Structure 1
Amino acid sequence: MIPRKQYVVERPGYEVNEEEYRRFPVHRQAFVTVSEEDTGEKVYMGWIEKMQASAQKNMMRNLSGRTVVDYAVNFGANTVNLILGEYGFPNSHFLKWDPLYIPEPMTEHPVEMEPEKLTKLVKETSELYGADLVGVTELDEKWVYSEDHLSKPFVFADTPRPRETEEAFEIPKSVNRAIVIAVAMDAKMIETSPEVTASTSVAVGYSRMGITAVSLAEFIRSLGYVAIPCMNDTTMSIPLAIDAGLGEVGRHGLLITPEFGSNVRLCKVLTNMPLIPDQPINMGLTEFCHQCMLCAVHCPANAITKENPSFSGVCENNNSGVKKWQVRSSDCLRFWQQNGADCINCIAVCPFTYGYEWSQCMECVRCDTTHGCALHITTHLREKHGYVKDAYWWERPTINPLTRKGL
């Protein structure tokens, strides 16, 4: 990771209206609302039928970037994701909240170790299991979903172990830390969006993040602590990643990191392990996104706003009470259905995905470099720490291959 020292701030960059904010239910996610519109049932994956129908048409027409081979590679890349967590349903498949294969005696006696050493061990082990970035934060309950897609609530309870009952998902009150992990995707593949190859890179990211979260949770349980592995379930990923110092949120509503921009997938492990939290960062992203419109201009669904951040949501998929750029998520998902594959245009065109090149200056509505351009500074740091090479102003930097330690 790029050292965070120069970026660290006391408070996260977002603003919350505590009187207005309410915990968000999964059944208001676009995946659920669009599925319900299409099928009449409150399901999570009903939306995918229309996307698969479009995919069939693409394959029959043998369209470039949407051939049978392209889709075959995509389906293979998504296999581990579906095996591990079925797109992140809580307490299901390998995302079970109980230990999977650990001998029971190992789960009963927490290993005693200084928090500093324990935190270092967890981060190093996360990298061994596939994490490209990892941070720790106190678990803020406001970022835990209020209910799942079937309206079963998530509650904090006086229970030693996490469990699911007929009435609720019960998280122990002792679970007060979130380990947030980012897995980088292939930028060259993302660049082909909205073709299937870009969607394949996302599928690989989902599969890798599932492997990492499940492996890390089992490791933590083996040390005698509680661990809840999460993909897209249980908690919101982006605000926890911001709290853990991994990055800031951009105009497109995604996390942007100093190392990879928003070209990452996020997963979490919730735990009662006494870890030392990281601090949030400010790399000047909010100011940059105010003047850059690339993601909004290149969104085929017109789902990304060109307006200023707001506390008020613009559709039922938004949660009012947090000041941010509001995204029409259901419009985005409807384009996926028409396209026959995920669309990642917003990540592909974001200047932070590759780093600075001169033509990006022409996309800014104004240039404010009073404290230096955030993109310039980040690109310099990426080159210094080995994430890119040949970062010349007149051409796109070359992204160095990832050097993962393990899985």
Structure 2
Amino acid sequence: AAWPHFIAHAGWREPVYPALEGAAPIPELVGQTYTHESFGVPRWESTPEENFALLKSAMRFFGAGQIASIELDANVKSMFYPVDASRMFFNGPPMAYGFEDCDNGYVTDTHFIIPNKARWVVTYTTPMPKEMYRTAPSGVCYAANMSRYRLNQETMACVQKFLLGLGYQGLQSAPWPNGICPSPAVATLPGLGEMDRINQCVIPEEGAVVGIYKFITDLPLPVSKPIDFGAFRFCHSCRKCADTCPAKAISFEEEPTWEPAGPWSTGGKKAYYKNEPECKLYQHSTGATCQICTGVCVFNVNTKAMIHEIVKSTLSTTGIFNSFLWKADVAFGYGHHDAAEWWDLDLPRYGFDTTMGVRDGGYGK
């Protein structure tokens, strides 16, 4: 069969500009764009479950971490940004999202147009270096934070080429920083992770130091379900991020609330809302953003710390080890570090463990 050629074709291409309308037609970079017609085979057709297994394997090869899918229903559409202003970071105009009965997504001067037949959202993670985050606030931590954008462009460019070869499309507004809708929302709904005290999303396999991305596709996929691995409940009594926040922008309340903290907050969820203006003011004052709250999260343990894995496995059923997990960070070397020390560390490629959450090939043994 010719289908295995599509992953080879997609996997070695140089990163391209992955705009929402599909893989960018830049012949000097990507050469000829192959499709199933090019190989003389029909479009890939299978069950949603087999489609997801195929896509997950390909995306892991292309650099993605954890992967989940959800239906693009009215509830998810309601979370789309009315106007995506993140293009202004690159001196571009704000863009809105629209839906049409068309075959392929496309871009106008004012809109990203999504075909109505593209009915699934794939959410996935791009891991980031935990050791670099533990130096926050610093230029080293800032570099770690920005690394997700570089890695995602490569991942998504390959995913788009792969889907195009199968006869489908992957629509993403990268490299713009936000894109489509709030990432923590579409990571929580399909069960990639749970909400946390900093009003983001913590991933069981990867912790809080993670980039979350999503794209829309017309490849039929199953609907993943939310999970409860105890993280949000743990946040009720932890407050470590709030204790270490220099701006005191993170809630100390024991219980989350339905009431937004201010006009900057999006309601409709029971959460720990932050004082975002105070957070942003402090970030800008450092010259290197902040990210202290993300770096100190107790779920940022490395995969070889087996005692932490045992404790984490109990969080969904009991809070008996909560205080241990909070205090063990410094003892196991997971506290704050001087940024100058990072340059002397011997760390994995890209700065993170690519075997997180992996079971096969001897890597999960």
Q: Does the pair score TM above 0.5?
A: yes
For the residues of structure 2 that align with 1:215 and 1:345, how far apart are their CA atoms? 32
CA contact (8 A) 1:304 1:326 kept: yes
For residues 241-270 of structure 1, give each alpha carbon's deviation from its aligned partner in whole angstroms, at most 9, with x where no partner exists. 112211001000121011121110111121
Q: Which residue pairs with 1:351 in the alignment?
A: 298
CA contact (8 A) 2:94 2:110 kept: no
Structure 1 residue runs of 5 or longer lacking an equivalent are: 1-82, 86-92, 359-367, 380-391
Q: CA deviation at 1:277?
A: 2.3
Does residue 195 in structure 1 map to residue 138 in structure 2? yes
RMSD: 3.5
Residue 129 of structure 1: which of 58, 62, 66 is its match? Answer: 62
Q: Which residue pairs with 2:81 in the alignment?
A: 145
Q: Which residue pairs with 2:354 in the alignment?
A: 403
Q: How does 1:238-257 map to 2 (within 5 A)?
A: 238-257=184-203
Matched to 2:285, the amino acid is Q
Q: Which residue pairs with 1:225 in the alignment?
A: 168
For the residues of structure 2 that align with 1:138 and 1:285, how far apart are their CA atoms? 25
For residues 131-180 of structure 1, give each alpha carbon's deviation from its aligned partner in whole angstroms, at most 9, with x where no partner exists. 12111222221232222225643122212211223453221111111111
For residues 26-45 of structure 1, give each alpha carbon's deviation from its aligned partner in whole angstroms, at most 9, with x where no partner exists. xxxxxxxxxxxxxxxxxxxx
Q: Which residue pairs with 2:33 in the alignment?
A: 103
Secondary structure of 2:290 counterpart: coil
Secondary structure of 2:18 counterpart: helix
**Residue identity (%):** 24
For residues 363-407 of structure 1, give each alpha carbon's deviation from its aligned partner in whole angstroms, at most 9, with x where no partner exists. xxxxx989323876xx8xxxxxxxxxxxx89932789961369xx
CA contact (8 A) 1:357 1:393 kept: no
Secondary structure of 1:136 counterpart: strand
Secondary structure of 2:265 counterpart: coil
For the residues of structure 2 that align with 1:166 and 1:176, how far apart are their CA atoms? 24
For the residues of structure 2 that align with 1:95 and 1:170, how far apart are their CA atoms? 12
Higher relative contact order (CA 8 A, sep 6+): 1
Q: CA deviation at 1:343?
A: 0.9
CA pair 227-123 structure 1, distance change in 2 beyond 3 A: same
Residue 108 of structure 2: which of 161, 165, 169 is its match? Answer: 165
CA contact (8 A) 1:129 1:216 kept: yes
CA pair 190-286 structure 1, distance change in 2 beyond 3 A: same
Residue 51 of structure 2: which of 115, 118, 126 is its match? Answer: 118
For the residues of structure 1 that align with 2:110 and 2:136, how far apart are their CA atoms? 42
Secondary structure of 2:300 counterpart: helix
For the residues of structure 2 that align with 1:147 and 1:154, how far apart are their CA atoms? 7
TM-score, normalised with respect to structure 2: 0.71
For the residues of structure 2 that align with 1:224 and 1:127, how far apart are their CA atoms? 20
CA contact (8 A) 1:217 1:269 kept: no
Q: Which residue pairs with 2:361 in the alignment?
A: none
CA contact (8 A) 1:285 1:374 kept: no
For residues 336-376 of structure 1, give each alpha carbon's deviation from its aligned partner in whole angstroms, at most 9, with x where no partner exists. 21101021101111111127999xxxxxxxxx989323876
Q: Which residue pairs with 1:281 in the alignment?
A: 227
TM-score, normalised with respect to structure 1: 0.64
CA pair 189-118 structure 1, distance change in 2 beyond 3 A: same
For residues 4-51 of structure 1, give each alpha carbon's deviation from its aligned partner in whole angstroms, at most 9, with x where no partner exists. xxxxxxxxxxxxxxxxxxxxxxxxxxxxxxxxxxxxxxxxxxxxxxxx
Q: CA deviation at 1:130?
A: 0.7
Q: CA deviation at 1:193?
A: 0.4
Q: Which residue pairs with 2:119 in the alignment?
A: 176
CA pair 84-124 structure 1, distance change in 2 beyond 3 A: closer
CA contact (8 A) 2:63 2:155 kept: yes
CA pair 397-337 structure 1, distance change in 2 beyond 3 A: closer
Q: CA deviation at 1:96?
A: 4.1
